[in-house]
Amino acid sequence: MGYVRGVVHGTALGTVIGLCIAPQSGAQTRRQAQRAAGAAREGFQRAQDTARRVAPTAQGAARQVGEAFGTLKGKVVREHEIEPGVPVPATDGSDGRER
């Protein structure tokens, strides 16, 4: 989310600076600013609509991944006869701890 916020802020700041140093009349600048604001509102609205449409699908997918992970973890624990909560030994030569 930080990247998107940075892009939006950078775009807004660049627009304001560009409008301030543009060699055109105030009326032209105001019309240009109104068009830019309208386009920004439209883009924001489209992004919100997309997020609302995609959110249920993403939540369902996340739930399925979580369930699959739980099932897989259960199989690994049962196959290796390890008590739940005891970490599975690493097979890559490391000590199994995260770095």
pLDDT band at 40 (very low <50, low <70, confident <90, very high): confident
Residue in the block written with tokens 């399925």 = 64
pTM: 0.43
Q: Does residue 48 form part of some domain?
A: yes
**Quick one: three-class SS letters along the chain?**
CHHHHHHHHHHHHHHHHHHHHCCCCHHHHHHHHHHHHHHHHHHHHHHHHHHHHHHHHHHHHHHHHHHHHHHHHHHHHHHCCCCCCCCCCCCCCCCCCCC
Please write the tens of the pLDDT for every residue from 56-83. 999 999 999 999 888 888 787 777 665 6
Q: Does residue 87 form part of some domain?
A: no
Q: Does residue 84 form part of some domain?
A: no
Residue 6, pLDDT score:
85
- Does pLDDT of 9 surpass 80? yes
Residue 20 C-alpha from the chain's centroid: 32
Q: Does residue 20 form part of some domain?
A: yes
Q: What's the number of domains the chain is made of?
A: 1
Residue 42, pLDDT score:
92
Residue 82, pLDDT score:
58
